[in-house]
Amino acid sequence: NAGVTQTPKFQVLKTGQSMTLQCAQDMNHNSMYWYRQDPGMGLRLIYYSASEGTTDKGEVPNGYNVSRLNKREFSLRLESAAPSQTSVYFCASTGGTNLYEQYFGPGTRLTVT
Amino acid sequence: QKEVEQDPGPLSVPEGAIVSLNCTYSNSAFQYFMWYRQYSRKGPELLMYTYSSGNKEDGRFTAQVDKSSKYISLFIRDSQPSDSATYLCAMSAELTGGGNKLTFGTGTQLKVEL
pLDDT tens-digit map of B9-20: 899 999 999 999
Whether residue B50 contacts residue B113, with contact meaning beta carbons closer than 8 Å, is answered with no
**Inter-chain residue contact B43 with A4, CB threshold 8 Å:** yes
Chain B contact set for A89 (CB, 8 A):
none
Whether residue B15 contacts residue B114, with contact meaning beta carbons closer than 8 Å, is answered with yes
CA-nearest of B57, B88, B54, B56 to B69 is B54
Nearest to A104 among B4, B45, B92 (CB): B45
Chain B contact set for A106 (CB, 8 A):
42-43
- Average pLDDT on B87-104 reads 82
Give the rounded percent of residues in chain A with a pLDDT score beyond 90: 82
Give the rounded percent of residues in chain A with a pLDDT score beyond 70: 96
Q: Which amino acid, one-letter code, is at A57?
A: K
The answer to whether B77 faces chain A, any CB pair under 8 Å, is: no
Chain B contact set for A41 (CB, 8 A):
106
Which residue pairs, CB below 8 angstroms and at least 24 apart, start in B1-4? Answer: B1/B26, B2/B26, B3/B27, B3/B91, B3/B103, B4/A42, B4/B89, B4/B90, B4/B91, B4/B103, B4/B104, B4/B105
pLDDT tens-digit map of A2-18: 899 999 999 999 999 99
Residue A97: pLDDT above 70? Answer: no
Residue B43: pLDDT above 70? Answer: yes
